[in-house]
Structure 1
């Protein structure tokens, strides 16, 4: 792992595969570890240079004040384009997961020349907050259970990992995998202050981010090959959100993972990688 300086900030990155191969850039949601190792390895084995990266205020990237971010969603989109340019090799296949999928949508719209293909995983076409009337919101029973779960002692690595495992079980994800990933995220988090930990573990910085103006109405402008990946059992962003994106981006392919929830399980990594590789 290393960092690359763009737009006067540092972005933490990790690379897989041949440096001279076509670039697949994976925007974290919010950390790079939202993208499974197995998926990165499958893509690299398919002849791609894979670079996954941390968004601002997470992982090895510049951390300032997650409670009052001095940047917008469009700044994060500009980071993706600048990083693709800094890494070289021509337009990149950009992929975003969760809130990183929001970054990827805006990046594809605002900086189309930087990207050759787009993958959107477990995301939706509107900013955090109440969705449009035709889009399914978070499952309320699930959210009630999540918010009833007390916050951990953020200075305690094991407590944070247990908190993540309990949340994953509520969301329908693999608690064993979630525990391991949370421990890795904790090890990479620059400090144990609750706002910083919550930005890394839960992406809470997005609730304070300026995400205006809307971009959903612009989705038909996306002309690059697009893959939309969504878990059938996703209770956080229910599958109707992915279905809407696939309808509104011309020619987009929808891949529904029947046994998945919010996270991409290792068991589906090969299927997702194969679908991504067909885009270019």
Structure 2
């Protein structure tokens, strides 16, 4: 397998998470042949300086890859700006990129899945994004990998031809949605994607991911996804930028490699149905929701 995509890893102020993410990445069978670029954002506040320094001590000792380059910023750009700039830079140099953040544990086959898919769908204009995460779906009859409309941001890859469609301007994106598109975009109103767009416009979130999904959606693009997740997010402990404390999205990582990819470039109807069902019931009944709310509030209280 030639032409391996470079890996962009975005880190900030979580040394333990960064260390675990790197340990799992190193265990990937293609790690030794892959170039790793680690983008370390500068401290936002005085209080963050120590943790940022701890993270930098870890990333400056990384080995086990074909090459490692650390890009350390003096000032704080924020996650969204860091990701957009880092991805754009590597895409310009390599024409493709694999993207990780500092809170993802991966399977030993995750890099192989990304590179196989990047090579397989390189010329398919409609395929714009390869995701490694998938919700804990209960449907048993899904293929190993399938196409779906929404882009997941926990471990992903793309090509220059797709990334050039990324539209960072929220007003340009919002203008292109009518009622029907809003429904389709938010998985028949089962996921708060449209709300995330509106909150971005109001300055309540700073998500690059929602703008990337909107860019893909408006171009009629598709994303490739595994039926069983190849990554798990370990950031839902209250330490992340956008992560609360919950276990709804916790998954068991697929231990096997993905060997079968879809030939037909269209959204998989069964997968869409399974995802929609998961999103509809993900928060559980009222009792479960109350318990979860109480647990999250207590955890926030004790972490202060």
TM-score (norm. length: structure 2): 0.27
Query: Who wins on radius of gyration, i.e. which is larger?
Result: 2
